[in-house]
A and B are shown apart, each in its own frame.
Chain A
Amino acid sequence: MSIVSPGFSGRRRGDQKLPPGQYLVTDFPVLSAGPTPRVDTGSWQFRVTTETGQVRDWDWAAFRALPDEEITVDIHCVTKWSKLTTHWRGVSVDTLLEQAETSAQYVLARSYGGYTTNLPLADVRDGQAWIAFEYEGKPLAAEHGGPARLLVPHLYFWKSAKWVQGIDLMPTDRPGFWESLGYHNYGDPWREQRYWGD
Chain B
Amino acid sequence: MARAAVLGRLSWQQGTVSEIHKETAAATSIAIDLPDWSGHLPGQHVDVRLTAADGYSAERSYSIASAPERGRVELTVQRLPDGEVSPYLTETLQPGYPFELRGPIGGWFVWDPASPGPVLLVAGGSGVVPLMSMIRSRAAAGSHAPFQLLYSVRGPADALYAAELAERQRQATGLRIDYVYTRTVPDGWPHPPGRLTAAMLPRADDHEPPAVFVCGPTGFVEAVANLLIQVGHQPGVIKTERFGPSGG
Contact = CB atoms under 8 A, between A and B. Distances in A.
- A and B: real partners? yes
Interface of A: 2-12, 21, 23, 25-27, 29-37, 79-81, 113-114, 143, 177-178, 180-182, 194-198
B239 interface: yes
Main secondary structure of the interface of A (DSSP, over half): loop
Given A2-B49, A23-B248, A35 B242 contact: no
B247 to A, nearest CB: 8
Nearest to A2: B51
Given A8-B92, A10-B84, A80-B61, A33 B246 contact: no
Contacts of B238: 34-35
Contacts of A4: 51-53, 98
A182 B244 CA distance: 22
A37 B98 CA distance: 43
B146 to A, nearest CB: 22
Contact of B88 (A7, A34, A79): A7
Contacts of B61: 79-80
A143 B51 contact: no
Contact of B97 (A5, A30, A81, A194): A5
A5 B53 CA distance: 8
Interface of B: 2-3, 6-10, 12, 14, 47, 49-53, 55-61, 84, 88, 92, 97-100, 105-109, 218, 221-222, 225-226, 228-229, 235-236, 238-240, 242, 244-246, 248
B225 A5 contact: no
Nearest to A192: B59
A62 to B, nearest CB: 28
Given A30-B222, A34-B235, A79-B61, A5 B50 contact: yes
Nearest to B9: A197
A9 B52 contact: yes
Nearest to B61: A79
A65 to B, nearest CB: 31
B120 to A, nearest CB: 14
A33 B108 contact: yes
The residue among B55, B84, B236 with the most chain A CB atoms within 10 A of its own CB is B84
Contacts of A143: 218, 222
A29 B218 contact: yes
Given A3-B98, A6-B97, A27-B246, A182 B222 contact: no
The residue among B49, B57, B236 with the most chain A CB atoms within 10 A of its own CB is B57
